[in-house]
Amino acid sequence: NAGVTQTPKFQVLKTGQSMTLQCAQDMNHNSMYWYRQDPGMGLRLIYYSASEGTTDKGEVPNGYNVSRLNKREFSLRLESAAPSQTSVYFCASSGLAGARSEQFFGPGTRLTVL
């Protein structure tokens, strides 16, 4: 049981490049989330998927798109990377709907945009 996995672990991009961060969970969870974590700050919600087939914006969605490919996978895409998107990105999942339940986090993707 791997839990939540994320790829890649590290990535360096140039301004304007695009990339997709991959996330998968094997816990049969309905809800999945993408957060970013900046130095000295807490996590901020980018997008979430309450269930397969649905996605919604979180607190900081600008510059990102998401796809809930199936129940297991939830990807985050940066179409045109900017230095302000340098951050650590975490994917999470939860078995119960909403923020009022335990979320299981992946190990994170450390992204640097030059």
Partner 1 sequence: GENVGLHLPTLSVQEGDNSIINCAYSNSASDYFIWYKQESGKGPQFIIDIRSNMDKRQGQRVTVLLNKTVKHLSLQIAATQPGDSAVYFCAENSSGAGSYQLTFGKGTKLSVIP
Binding residues for partner 1, per CB under 8 A? 4, 31, 33, 40-45, 48, 50, 56, 58-59, 90, 92, 97-100, 102-108
Measured from the CB atom, the residue of 4 and 21 that comes closer to partner 1 is: 4
Minimum Å distance from CB 58 to partner 1? 7
Minimum gap (Å) between residue 60 Cβ and partner 1? 11
Taking the complex as a whole, the smallest distance from the CB of residue 61 to partner 1 amounts, in Å, to: 12
Which of helix, strand or coil describes residue 7? strand
Half-sphere exposure of 9 (CA within 13 A, CB side): 1
The CA distance from 26 to 83, in Å, is 32
Instruction: Using the structure block, give the residue that is written with the tokens 């094997």.
Output: 26
Q: Which is nearer to partner 1, 13 or 48 (CB)?
A: 48
Contact 38, 106 (CB under 8 A): no
Rounded to 5°, the CA angle 78-33-49 comes to 95
In the complex with partner 1, the residue whose CB is nearer, 5 or 67, is: 5
